[in-house]
Structure 1
Amino acid sequence: MLTRDEGWQLLCEWTPSAKLRIHARAVELVMRDLAGRLGENVERFGLAGLLHDADYDTWPEEHPTRIVAWLRERGETDLAHAVSAHYTRWGVPYDHLLDKALLASDEITGFVMACALVRPTRTEGLEPKSVKKKLKDKAFAAGVDRFEVAEGLRMLIEARGGTEEEHLARIIAVLHEHREELGLS
C-alpha cells in the first residue's frame, strides 16, 4: 500500500510549482478531515487529495492519465479511480464516496484559498456566505469551474447529507488551522 511519504515524494518530483504543491496539501488536509468526520479511511482520502494533480505541472496535456497509470501500476485502484473522476467532464462514474469527496473538495478548496488571500485577515472571520457570494462573481478566481464546485457539493450532500454552508465552514476551519503551512497567515 502506498504511504503518505511515498505520495509526497512523487508529488515533489513531478510538481515543481510550489503553488500547486500547496494546493495538493490543502486538498489533502480537507480530504483527511472529511474522512475523519465520516468514519472513512483518513489515509486513503488524504492520498487522493495529495495526488489528484500530481502530473499537472509536468504533463498538463496528459493530466490525469500519468498519475492514474502510476497509481494503477501499484495496485491503488481506488485512488486511481478517484483521481480519474475529479473532473465531471471526463465522464468517469462516481462509484464511491472517495470519488465524490475528491470532486467536492478540489475546486472549492482552491476557491476558498483565493477568497482568503484577498482578505487582510485571510481565513480569520471568513464565512461561508462570503464564499458563496464570491462564487457568484464570475470574474473572481475565474479559473475555478463553478459547475464542478456545484456538482461536487451536490454529490457529497446527496451521499452524506449536510449543507453547502457546513461543508464550506469545515473547509475554512481546516485551512485556518493550517494557515501557516498553507501561506494563509
Structure 2
Amino acid sequence: MVISRQQAWNKLLEWTSNPSLFIHARSVEIVMRRAAHLYGGNEQEEERWGLAGLIHDADYELWPEEHPKHIVAWLEEQKEPEIAYAVAAHNTKWGVPHITQLDKALLACDELTGFVIACSKVRPDGIQSLDPSSVLKRLKTKSFAAKVDRDEIHAGSRELGVDLSDHIAFVIDILKDSANDLEI
C-alpha cells in the first residue's frame, strides 16, 4: 500500500461536501473491508479493498459527468494501480472489464450498498428488520431510489459469481453492525 486511509479520506474531504456521499463512502468502505474476507481470500486484502470502497466516488460531486476520471488519475499518481483500475471498472459505462476479485466486489457492493441504505431509510426501524426479499421487491420498483443503477447491481452479483439474494443478505448484515455509526 502506498496511500494511507487518512490520505484517501483527505482526498474525499477535498472533493466532497455532501453528507450523503460521505455516508455512502463510509458504508461502501465498511462493506468492502468485510467483502475482502469473503471474496478476496485473505485478510491482507482488507485495507486495500476498504480504500477502494472509501475513495471510489470521491470525484462524483465535482465532476459527475467525468466520474471516475479524476479519482482514477489521482490514484495512478499515488502509485495505486490496482485500486485505480477497480475504481475505473466500477462505472460500467466506461466498459473496463472486471478482472480481479477487487474489481468485481467493488461493482457488486457499490450500488447495492446505496440501495440497501435507501431501503432502510423508509422503514420505521431502519435497517434492523430489513431482509433480502424486501430489497429485491424494491429493486423492481423503478421509481424507488431511481438514480440507483439496477443493471450494475445485477451485473455485480453476476461478475462476482454470487446469488443476488445471498449478496444482499451479506450487505444488510454488515450494515446492521455499523448502523449507529452510519446513522441508518
3-state DSSP of counterpart to 1:141: coil
Pairing 1:40-119 to 2, within 5 Å after superposition: 40=42, 41-119=45-123
CA distance in 1, matches of 2:61, 2:151: 23
Equivalence for 1:136: 140
CA distance in 2, matches of 1:49, 1:106: 7
CA distance in 1, matches of 2:164, 2:70: 32
The Cα shift of 1:163 comes to 2.1
**1:52 maps to amino acid:** H
CA distance in 2, matches of 1:62, 1:139: 25
Equivalence for 1:155: 159
Equivalence for 1:5: 6
Unaligned runs of 5+ in 2: none
**1:95 maps to amino acid:** I
Equivalence for 1:182: 182
- Alpha-carbon RMSD across the aligned residues, in angstroms, is 1.0
The Cα shift of 1:13 comes to 1.4
Equivalence for 2:23: 22
Equivalence for 2:165: 165
3-state DSSP of counterpart to 2:179: coil
The Cα shift of 1:37 comes to 2.2
Compute the TM-score of the two structures, normalised by the length of structure 2: 0.94
CA distance in 2, matches of 1:60, 1:126: 30
Match 1:123 to one of 123, 127, 133: 127
The Cα shift of 1:61 comes to 2.7
**1:86 maps to amino acid:** H
**2:14 maps to amino acid:** E
CA distance in 2, matches of 1:165, 1:93: 24
Compute the TM-score of the two structures, normalised by the length of structure 1: 0.94
CA distance in 1, matches of 2:94, 2:123: 34
The Cα shift of 1:11 comes to 0.7
Q: List per-residue Cα deviations over 1:123-153 (Å, max 9, x = no partner).
A: 1111001100110111111111111110011
How many residues in Structure 1 have an aligned counterpart in Structure 2? 180
Equivalence for 2:33: 32
